[in-house]
Amino acid sequence: MKKILIVDDSPTMRRMVAAALQGLTAVMFEEASNGLEAVEILARGGVALMILDLNMPDMHGLDVLRFVRSNSPYKSTPIIVLTTKYDSESKQSAVSAGATDYLTKPFEPRALFERVSQWVNSQ
């Protein structure tokens, strides 16, 4: 079973993301409410894909991206940024830091499902 880590400081948003992905097979979800918690979960291993918000307490999403991409066990983990930041500068910053994909909130559940399916199934 593949683990998808949903990282967002909003419990409601984490539930919405998980609900949008319920049709995926052979996956389980783990949640983190901030960047530090996400890094701790990653350290335990087994994360197949991360869905990451940028604006969070304790550790900004870009810092999480940089950390993940600088540590060899996680370099190839797909990371989909899901954020309210829709400007091209934010997107470019996320991609430069190592984001695999970038979606904005509010999100279309089907679009998120398709993107996650693509990355989870490619592993």
Q: What is the pTM of this model?
A: 0.95
Query: In this predicted model, which residue has the larger pLDDT, 62 or 74?
Result: 62
Average pLDDT over the chain, rounded to whole? 94
Quick one: pLDDT at residue 57?
A: 86
Among candidate residues 91, 43, 32, the one with its CA nearest the CA of residue 68: 43
- Asked if residue 71 has pLDDT above 90, the reply is no
Q: What is the pLDDT of residues 6-59, one digit of tens each?
A: 999 999 999 999 999 999 999 999 999 999 999 999 989 899 999 999 999 889
Given CATH 3.20.20.140, say whether it is the number of domain 2-121: no
Buried-state track 49-78, b at ≥16 Cβ within 10 A, e below 16: bbbbbbebeebebbbbbebbbeeeebeebb
- Asked if residue 95 has pLDDT above 80, the reply is yes
